[in-house]
């Protein structure tokens, strides 16, 4: 019989979820399961911490959509670095509920993929990346208040921002230093 990890149990009791790893399918299942379990337990707020180098876009989509799907309000705190698919998850939260710690860095960029196979398959994969780029640019524009065309330019290459720049751009609502700043 599996023993319950006391740290995970305490996080669940305090309605906190931590994403501190690469975004991939196994961790997306874990995070979505945590969100659903917390939503089934109560409608109280959920506090999500994000520190991720990014990863698989569709895995990030699962978490992004689940945050929007559940009834409880989710508040997010970025810490370390919030990059790529990690930023996509971060932007699922209403702007008023997006915070970061002072040393957080953010990365937005266009998606990339490992393209291989026959020429026709490569063409299809490239077309899908273009479609995904536009979809993600719309998410960023809607979440930040930036114009779509500006976002398309901004994600043409890696676009790193400091916490202060993230607030200015509209990625983050407020930089905080302690839990008291949330009150």
Candidate list 109, 112, 120, 177, residue with the active-site label: 109
pLDDT of residue 84: 95
- Outline where DSSP puts E strands in the chain: 16-19, 46-52, 74-83, 98-100, 105-108, 159-161, 174-175
Q: How many CB atoms lie within 10 A of CB 108?
A: 25
- Please state, in angstroms and rounded to a whole number, the distance separating the CA atoms of residues 57 and 62: 9
Domain residue ranges of the chain, discontinuous segments joined by +: 6-182
Would you call 109 a catalytic residue per the annotation?
Answer: yes
Encode 101-112 in three state secondary structure. Answer: CCCCEEEECCCC
- Return per-residue pLDDT of the chain as tens, 183 residues: 567 788 889 999 999 999 999 999 999 999 999 999 999 999 999 999 999 999 999 999 999 999 999 999 999 999 999 999 999 999 999 999 999 999 999 999 987 766 667 888 788 888 888 899 999 999 999 999 999 999 999 999 999 999 999 999 999 999 999 999 987
The CATH class, in words, for 6-182 is alpha beta
Quick one: pLDDT at residue 129? 85
SS3 53: coil
pTM of the predicted model as reported, rounded to 2 decimal places: 0.92
59, 64, 84, 88: the active-site residue: 84
Backbone angles phi, psi at 113, to 5 degrees: -155, 160
């Amino acid at each position: 019989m599996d023993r319950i990890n006391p740290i995970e149990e305490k996080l669940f009791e305090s309605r906190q979820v931590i994403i501190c790893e690469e975004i991939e399918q196994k961790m997306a299942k874990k995070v979505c399961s945590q969100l659903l379990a917390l939503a089934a337990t109560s409608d109280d707020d959920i506090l999500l911490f994000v520190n991720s180098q990014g990863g698989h876009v569709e895995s990030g989509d699962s978490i992004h959509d689940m945050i929007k799907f559940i009834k409880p309000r989710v508040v997010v705190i970025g810490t370390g670095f919030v990059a790529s698919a990690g930023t996509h998850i971060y932007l699922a939260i209403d702007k008023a509920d997006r915070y970061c710690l002072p040393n957080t860095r953010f990365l937005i960029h266009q998606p990339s993929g490992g393209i291989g196979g026959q020429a026709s398959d490569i063409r299809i994969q490239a077309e899908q990346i273009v479609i995904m780029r536009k979809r993600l640019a719309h998410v960023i524009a809607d979440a930040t208040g930036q114009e779509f065309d500006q976002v398309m330019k901004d994600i043409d290459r890696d676009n790193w921002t400091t916490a202060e720049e993230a607030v200015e751009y509209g990625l983050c609502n407020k930089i905080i230093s302690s839990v008291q700043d949330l009150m």
